[in-house]
A and B are shown apart, each in its own frame.
Chain A
Amino acid sequence: MQKEKKWFKPLFEFGDSPIPKKVKKDSSKIQKPKNSNKDSAACQSNGNIPHINDRNWMKNFDPVIVEDLAVHNKKVQEVDEWMKTACMSSKSDMLLLSGPVGCGKTATIRTLAAKYNIKITEWITPLDIEYPTEFGDYEFKVSQSKKFLEFIINSANFVSLLDNNSCKLVLVEDFPNVFIRTPSEFTDVLQQYKVRAKSPIVFICSDTHTDNKNTAFHLFSPSLKEQFNIHHIMFNSVSATGLKAALKRATEIITKKYTSTYNIPTADIIESVVNTSGGDVRSAILNLHFASLKGSSGNLETSIIIEKEVKSKTTRKKKNSANKFMSLGKDQTVSILHGVGRVLNPKELINNEGQKVLTHCPKDIIEQFLSQPSSFIGFLEENYLPHFSCAYDVDKAASALSESDFLLAEWREKLCQEYGLYTAVAGLMLSNKSPVSAWNPVRGPKNMRVTYPDLRELPLLEPNYLYKGKVLVTDYITYCKIIGNQTKDVDENT
C-alpha cells in the first residue's frame, strides 16, 4: 500500500490494472479498518496530527455484519433470500434496488455479499473524453453500450486469477449516459446478458424528486421488468431508530479505536445528528464525523472553536426540543400540498417571553420551496377560503393575494417572484385570526381558459366577417338567441 501525504485520496483503487475501467472492488476490503488501527498509533507516536486512518475514513464505520445494517430487517431479509437463490443457481437473475439516497442500498448488497463470500464486480463508467494520438487524430472508439455489455458479461463469466471463489455478482450503480438517452439500447444489452451470462446482476438506482431524471422509473419500465423477470426491491429512507442504532455502533467503534481522532459523541450530539440527516445514513455518519472531530493535542484551540461553532449553531426548538445542526445536514424540502397545509393551518407557539411565534415561519417555508411561485399561489388561492371564519380576515388575505399576483407579473425580475411568494404566504398566515379547524380537501387551481362561443352556433351572423370573441360574448350572444328563437317561431307558423 503506498502512503501518500495528500489530504485527498482517490476513492477508487485502480492498482496497476492495465484496464482502468475494470474496477475490482474486493469485498474483503470492508474489514480493513481492523489493521488500520496500528497506523494511527504509529502516527500519533510521531507527534503529527493524527490522520484519519483509512483512505476513505467513512469506511471505518461501514457495516461489517448483517446485523450492523441500519436498513429494516425485512428488507435485508428480502435481499438476502434473493441473493441466496440467485447465486446458488448461477443463472443470470436480475435485481433492481431503488430508494432515496443514503438508505443503505449498496451497503446491504456489499454486506450480504461478504456474508456469503460472493465476489462483487462493479461497473464504473469510464471517462469518455477522447485524447488525440500523437498524429493528432482520434482513435476509433468502441461505443459505450458495447463496452458496458462486454464488461458485465466478462465479469459475470470469468473468474479472476487472484481469487478463487466461485460465486460472482455484477453490480451496476453507474449507468452509462447512452442508456439515459436511448433506453432501447439498454433492452438489447439486457437481452444479451440474459442469454450469455452466468451470474446474477444487481442494478441500484437512487430516487430523485423529478420523474424524468429518475433512472428507476425511466430505464426500468414495468414491461421491461416483466420481460426480463427483474426482481424489484424498494427501500425506504432509514427510520430514526435505525439511524440511532447505526450511530450507536459508530460510537462504539470510536470508543474502541479512535479516541485519538474523535471526542466520544454524547447522546445529545447523536440526537441532533439523527434529526439533521433526515433518514440518510451516509450523511448521518458524515455529520457525526464533523460534530465529534477533535484536533491533535498540539492544536487543541482550534478544535474547541470548531466545537463551539457547532454547539452555538445548534438551535433549540420549543415543540419537541429536538436539536438540529444549522450548518450541517440536508435541507428540508416541502412538497406543494405540504406547503399549502403549512400556510393555511399556521400553528402558533408561545415562546419564553410569552409572545406568539409561528412554528414554521413564512421565510422558512419559502426557502424550502421547490415549485413555481405562481402555481403555489394558485393552490393557495383555490384553497384558503374554507379556513377563514371572519370577513375582515378574508379581506386582508385576499388583498395580500392580489398584491402577490401583481408582484409575480413582473417575471423579468427574479426578486419579484420571491417577494410575491412571501407576500402571499405571510399575508395568509398572519391574517387568519380565527381559523376554522376542519378537514378540507386540497383542490387544484381552476383552469381559467376562456372559451368563446362557436360561430357555428350563431347562424344569424355574417359568414365572412371577423367577429371578436369579447364582442360576441358581451353583445351578440343574448340578442342572437332572442332574435333566433323568434325567427324560428315565424318559420314554424308559416
Chain B
Amino acid sequence: MSLWVDKHRPKDLMKLDYHKDQATRLKSLVQQSDFPHLLVYGPSGAGKKTRIMCLLRELYGSGAERLRQETMHFTTPSNKKIEIMTVSSNYHIEVNPTDVGIHDRVVIMDLVKNVAQTHQIDSSGQREFKVVILNEVDDLTKDAQHALRRTMEKYVTTCRLILIANSISRVIPAIRSRCLTIRVPAPTEAEITNVLQSVCKKEGLNLPTDLGMRIAKCSDRNLRRALLMCEACKAQQYPFTSDQKVPEPDWQTFIRTTAAMILSEQSPKKLGEVRQKLYELIIHGVPPDMIFAGLLKELVQNCDMVMKCQVASYAAEYEHRMRLGNKAIFHIEAFVAKFMAIYKKYVEESLM
C-alpha cells in the first residue's frame, strides 16, 4: 500500500487542484510539437514535480509513466568511481546530481551526453527529443552550473532539460536566461484544505473542517507535508476529532528543544552542548537553512521588540554568510553565540 501523497497525485494537467490557469498554459505549451528548456521553481511541496510528470504524460502519453530504476556509474577525472540513482522511462530520465556532492559536474556532463547522443529509435508519432529532469539545480556547484550551460546549447536538438529548483537566486543568470522559467507558488491554506477534503473523500473518510484547517496551518503551506500529516493523524486516531493532535516532524521538535537549551543558560559550556545537537541535525540531513529558520522562529518568541529586530538582522547576516561559505556549522554556531551574548546582556540589565 502506498502513501496518500503518491496514490492521489494528479496524473493529468487538467486534473490539478490549483493553479489551473497555469496548467492550461502548460498544456498549450506542449501541444505544439516543441518546447524550450524549462526551469521550474517554487517552495518545497508546492507541486513542481507533479506538474512536470503531468507535462511528460501530455507529451509522450502513458509510456512516460512506466518507470524503472537504474544505477549509473561515472568516473571522475581523478579516477574516482561514483554511482548515482536514476529513474527513467523510454522518454525521459530523472536524476539528483547533488547526491554525489562535488562531483556533480561529471554526472551532468556525462549523463546529458549519453542521453543526447542516442536518438529515439521509434520516431513515428513520437517527439524527436528526450527529456532530462535535474533536481535541486540551485544546490549545484558553480562548476556544474557552468557545465550545464554549455551542454544546454550543444544538445538542444536531441534533448530538453527540465530543471527543478527551490529558488532561482542561486541559479546562474546564464541558465536562467536559457530556460523558460515557471514559478509554482505554494498553495494557500484554503487550497490545501480543499485538497485534504477531496483526498479524504476518495479514501472514504470524513475530515472535520477544523482539523483540516489546522493541518493546513501546521504544514507551512507544504502540500506534501499536509497530506502526510493527515494520513498520520488518521493512523493515530480515527474517526477524526477536530481537536486531535497534529504530529509535527521530529526534527522540528528537536530544534525546539535545542532552542530551549539556548534560552536556559548562556555559557560556552552550553554552547558546546548545543553544537552537538546541531551536528546531529546536520548529519541527519536536515538542510542548514531550515535549522536556521527553525531556531530563529523559536528564539524570537522570548524577545522583546528591540531584541527581535536585532536578532533577526544578525540571523540574516549569518545566514547569508552560510550560503557563501563552506561549513554551515560555523555560521549557525556564530549565530547561537551572538544570540547568547545579546540575551545574556538583556537578562543582566533587567536584573539591575
Contact = CB atoms under 8 A, between A and B. Distances in A.
Interface of A: 374, 378, 381, 385-386, 388-392, 394-395, 397-399, 401-403, 405-406, 408-409, 446, 448-453, 460-466, 468-480, 482-483, 485-487
Interface of B: 1-3, 6, 44-45, 67-69, 85-87, 94-96, 99, 135-136, 222, 224-225, 228-229, 231-232, 235-236, 247-251, 266-269, 271-272, 275, 279, 282-287, 290, 318, 321, 324-327, 329-331, 333-334, 336-338, 340-341, 344-345
B334 A466 contact: no
Nearest to B235: A486
A259 B34 CA distance: 95
30 contacts: A374-B326, A381-B330, A385-B268, A385-B271, A385-B275, A386-B268, A394-B271, A394-B337, A395-B337, A397-B337, A398-B330, A399-B338, A401-B333, A403-B321, A405-B326, A405-B330, A450-B282, A450-B283, A451-B285, A462-B6, A464-B87, A465-B6, A470-B285, A474-B225, A474-B251, A475-B44, A478-B232, A482-B232, A482-B236, A483-B235
Contacts of B247: 478-479, 482
A405 B321 contact: yes
Contact of A469 (B96, B269, B327, B344): B96
Contacts, number: 175
B298 to A, nearest CB: 16
B197 to A, nearest CB: 19
Contacts of B267: 391
B255 to A, nearest CB: 11
Nearest to B329: A448
A398 B335 CA distance: 8
A176 B272 CA distance: 53
Given A391-B267, A448-B282, A462-B6, A398 B222 contact: no
Given A395-B340, A475-B222, A452 B285 contact: yes
B321 A473 contact: no
Contacts of A386: 268, 272
Contacts of A385: 268-269, 271-272, 275
B340 A394 contact: yes
A448 B44 contact: no
A14 to B, nearest CB: 46
Contact of B235 (A374, A452, A472, A485): A485
Nearest to B272: A385
Nearest to B85: A466
| Best-surrounded residue of A389, A453, A482, A487 (most CB of chain B within 10 A) | A482
A448 B325 CA distance: 15
A125 to B, nearest CB: 32
Task: Tell me if B's interface is mostly helix, strand, loop or mixed.
Answer: helix
Given A402-B321, A405-B327, A487-B1, A391 B6 contact: no
Contacts of B334: 395, 398-399, 401-402
A453 B251 CA distance: 14
A460 B285 contact: no
B160 to A, nearest CB: 18
B327 to A, nearest CB: 5
A395 B192 CA distance: 42
Contacts of B1: 460, 487
Contacts of A402: 318, 321, 325, 330-331, 333-334
Contact of B229 (A394, A401, A479): A479
Nearest to B87: A466
Contacts of A405: 321, 325-327, 330-331
Given A399-B338, A462-B6, A482-B232, A446 B279 contact: yes
B88 to A, nearest CB: 9
A452 B282 CA distance: 10
Contacts of B235: 482-483, 485-487
Given A398-B337, A446-B279, A473-B284, A468 B135 contact: yes
B330 A401 contact: yes
B87 A465 contact: yes
B87 to A, nearest CB: 4
Contacts of A378: 327
B234 to A, nearest CB: 8
A139 to B, nearest CB: 38
A461 B6 contact: yes
B157 to A, nearest CB: 26
Contact of A398 (B6, B136, B266, B333): B333
- 8 smallest CB-CB distances across A and B, nearest first, come from A486-B235, A402-B334, A395-B341, A398-B337, A464-B67, A479-B228, A398-B334, A473-B285
